[in-house]
Structure 1
Amino acid sequence: MSLMMQEERLILVDEQDNKVGIGEKMQVHRQGALHRAFSIFIFDRQGRLMLQQRAAEKYHSGSLWTNSCCGHPRPEESNLAAATRRLHEEMGFNCPLTEVDQILYRVDVSNSLVENEFNHTFVGVFDQPPAINPDEAEGWQWMTVPAIFAAIEQQPAQFTEWFKVILGHFGQGVIQQWADGLR
């Protein structure tokens, strides 16, 4: 585990996303404490979603497919600034991002950790291959929204738990609207 990750601090929140404290990243995930997070969905102009395959060495959910990028704002960062920073750190590009919704969820992930998140959902459009950071992602691909839902139905174990929860919460129609709205 990197020193940076050990020292990373997360914003603890209540169910209305009001800040209630600060916690060390691994401790927060071990305890399942509610914290602020974000998920980014990058679409191309054809309406396909960029999926990220998490690096095998990640502290949880390694090698699983998920949304384009996700992470946690630092205590001094806005959600948008954090999302912009992580998109560049993980996928090697920047593009305008727009927050479209929020979702509250709690899911068990690998290594006995819990993602208990008040998650801000961002969308953006980008039409080029990313320059992925191999410490963060081992692969990527474009997929249509219907193909993603079909793949999750056929092979759910290949996808992160939070990605399945987010897609299930919003549904195929809303996700497709996000894609169509960016064309």
Structure 2
Amino acid sequence: MENEMLKIFDQQYNQIGVATRDEVHRIGHWHEAFHCWFFSRKGEEEVIYLQIRSQLKKDYPNLLDITAAGHLLADETIKDGIREIEEEIGVEVSFDALISAGVYKYAVEKGNFIDKELAHIYLFETDLPLHAFTLQKEEVSGIVQVKLTDFYELWLGEKEEVNVQGFEIENTGNRILLNKTVNRTHFVPHERGYYEHMIKSIQKISAK
């Protein structure tokens, strides 16, 4: 996986070449990623679906993250990113059913790991029950839901903790139900502006 070839870009989003995934994160090249957030409207309350990253992941194991996401390879278009949804969480979705929330540029540094992403963000409204998800164990160990308003207040700093509910798969392969309280340290560290962008995009859809 570290030898996967990714397109790399300058600050103006002009492609300047290709590099291995390892080099991209070691040097800090801008690169493309596909992000898809599942959300559901339950009455007047929206909820979003979060994945729990597998403990096998090199980066940010066991943390809560985007419903489905991944890097776009050097020979892929944005539409090809939809493969991440079926691979990671076992849900088949048409690209035409996704709602674009634009491209968000952000950078995160953690030690020698530099992640400078051009994130193509998509939203997918669904009423899928949690038992409908089939997880790729190397990538994802669980799926949970959180109220959108709670999630927003968490990242605005108005709340320190929120409740999530869903399931996680044990090493034995059994699904165990989750109903627990989490805080910001339990999430992959996307910047606050990224979360605000995603949340406001969902709110615009729900207001229509």
Q: TM-score, normalised by structure 1?
A: 0.84
Following the alignment from structure 1 to structure 2, what is the Cα–Cα distance between the partners of residues 71 and 41? 12
Question: Are residue 16 (structure 1) and residue 12 (structure 2) matched?
Answer: yes
C-alpha deviations, 1:76-118, integer Å up to 9, x for none?
2111221x10111111112232322111111024x63111011
- Within 2, Cα distance between the matches of 1:133 and 1:94? 14
Q: CA deviation at 1:157?
A: 0.9
Which among 134, 138, 143 is matched to residue 140 of structure 1?
143
Alpha-carbon distance between aligned partners in 2 of 1:112 and 1:165, rounded to the nearest angstrom? 23
CA contact (8 A) 1:6 1:24 kept: yes
Specify which structure has the bigger relative contact order, considering alpha-carbon pairs within 8 angstroms and separated by 6 or more residues. 1
How do residues 19-30 of structure 1 correspond to structure 2 at under 5 angstroms? Answer: 19-30=15-26
Structure number with greater Rg is: 2
CA displacement at 1:172 relative to structure 2: 4.3
In 2, the alpha carbon distance for the partners of 1:26 and 1:97 equals: 30
**TM-score, L = length of structure 2:** 0.75
Equivalent residue pairs, number: 174
Secondary structure of 1:62's aligned partner: coil
Deviation at 1:181, TM superposition (A): 6.2
Unaligned runs of 5+ in 2: 161-182
TM-aligned CA deviation for residue 151 of structure 1: 4.4
Shift in Å at residue 177 of structure 1? 2.4
CA RMSD of aligned residues (A): 2.1
SS of alignment partner, residue 88 of structure 1: helix
How far 1:123 moved relative to its partner?
A: 0.8
* Bigger proportion of residues as helix: 1
Which secondary structure does the structure 2 equivalent of 1:7 belong to? coil
Q: Cα–Cα, structure 1 residues 16 and 98, in superposed 2: closer, same or farther, change >3 Å?
A: farther
1:124 aligns with 2:120: no
Identity of aligned residues (%): 22
Q: State the Cα deviation string for residues 137-163 of structure 1 (Å, max 9, x = none).
A: 111112221122344542211111126
Is the strand fraction higher in 1 or 2? 2
Deviation at 1:176, TM superposition (A): 2.4
| 1:65 and 2:64 correspond | yes
Which secondary structure state, in structure 2, belongs to the residue aligned with residue 157 of structure 1? helix
How much has 1:122 moved relative to structure 2? 0.7
CA deviation digits over 1:38-58, x for unaligned, max 9?
Answer: 211111243311101111121
The one-letter code matched in structure 2 to 1:133 is: Q
What SS does the aligned partner of 1:161 have?
A: coil
Q: Which residue of 2 aligns with 1:94?
A: 92
